[in-house]
A and B are shown apart, each in its own frame.
Chain A
Amino acid sequence: MKHDIEEQAGALVLRLQGRFDAASAPEIKQLLKDQVGAGNTRIVLEISGVDFMDSSGLSVIVTCQRLAQSRGGDLRIAGAAESVKSILELTRLSRVFELDSDVGEAISRLPPKSRKSGR
């Protein structure tokens, strides 16, 4: 899996491309945990380039979202394709997760910067 990190409007935008599965999930999980640990708790996961996601990828999202939220921030998902939405439907998590159409929409829905969150 390929990934790219950038800062946009005070948020961390992580763009993923490829398969988000058991093979790639550990690296992405560590990357996100390191970012949150460094104080970057307002995160957008842009996944329009993800063509397949399994429970390992889903687990990373849930874990890292909780971690960000515990630090006063949040992690939002932007650009999910049908192939990714299908796993959310199968796990009924589509009722729990709000999906944003693009990075701009996701950033607008992140909590405001605070002293507690770095971004």
Chain B
Amino acid sequence: MKEPENSGSISIRVPARLKYLSLICAFVESFCKALVSDMPDSDVRALQLALDEVCSNVIRHGYGGECDSTLSIEAQYEERSLCFVITDQGKRFDIDKAEAPPIPPPRESGYGIAIIRRAVDEVEHTWDGQNNITRLTKYIRRTNDVAPTSGDKPDAGA
């Protein structure tokens, strides 16, 4: 399959309602498979999880629950990486200050941040005065690559 151009992006804007998490996951899967046809399923699932966790946190905590606000997701394709940028107008959030529970023993909550950090290769968060901007980057591996996955990384910041 001929690979597409070296860079590009697609954006969606979804209502801040939990029922749209499935749509966001479908968008992630479709984008990954369309741009990187031989991307390992495990990497696609990892990205879906990371986006789901970020968006779920935005809706439940950033906006304080489901509401009529929206969040935008821009999927970016570079030659060596896929990047998803989530922008919301919810309460200002600093992911670097968010606590991730030690594992084990199992806690009853708080796994979202740990999942996000382990599922992707880079997590960046900024506040531009009005918007939370969360950028998730995953380096492109192909099914035949032998490089270690994000999930195999040692506990980094979680």
Could you list which residues of chain A lie within 8 angstroms of chain B, going by C-beta atoms? 19, 21-23, 52, 54-56, 58-59, 62-63, 66, 82-83, 86-87, 89-93, 95-97
**What are 5 A-B interface contacts by the 8 Å CB criterion?**
A21-B22, A22-B18, A54-B53, A86-B49, A96-B106
A19-B22, A86-B42, A86-B45 known; A91 vs B115 contact (CB < 8 Å): yes
**Of residues 88 to 108 in B, which have CB atoms within 8 Å of A's CB atoms?**
103-108
The residues of B that contact A87 with a CB separation of less than 8 Å are 49, 115
**CB distance B108 to A66 under 8 Å?**
yes
Q: Which of B60, B108, B110 contacts A22 (CB under 8 A)?
A: B60
The residues of B that contact A96 with a CB separation of less than 8 Å are 103-106
Q: Which of B21, B60, B106 contacts A93 (CB under 8 A)?
A: B106
* Residue of B whose beta carbon sits closest to that of A23: B18
Interface of B is mostly: helix
Does B151 touch A at the CB level, under 8 Å? Answer: yes
**CB distance A22 to B21 under 8 Å?**
yes
State how many angstroms separate the Cβ of B27 from the closest Cβ of chain A. Answer: 14
Could you list which residues of chain B lie within 8 angstroms of chain A, going by C-beta atoms? 18-19, 21-22, 25, 41-42, 45-46, 48-49, 52-53, 56, 59-60, 103-112, 114-115, 118-119, 151, 155
Q: Which of A19, A21, A90, A93 contacts B104 (CB under 8 A)?
A: A93
Name the residue among A22, A52, A62 with the largest chain B CB count within 10 angstroms: A22
* Residue of B whose beta carbon sits closest to that of A64: B108
State how many angstroms separate the Cβ of B10 from the closest Cβ of chain A. Answer: 21
* Residue of A whose beta carbon sits closest to that of B150: A90
State how many angstroms separate the Cβ of A115 from the closest Cβ of chain B. Answer: 27
**CB distance B108 to A90 under 8 Å?**
no
* Residue of B whose beta carbon sits closest to that of A24: B18
State how many angstroms separate the Cβ of B117 from the closest Cβ of chain A. Answer: 9
Name the residue among B104, B106, B118 with the largest chain A CB count within 10 angstroms: B106
The residues of A that contact B111 with a CB separation of less than 8 Å are 55, 58-59, 91
The residues of A that contact B22 with a CB separation of less than 8 Å are 19, 21, 23, 52
The residues of B that contact A93 with a CB separation of less than 8 Å are 103-104, 106
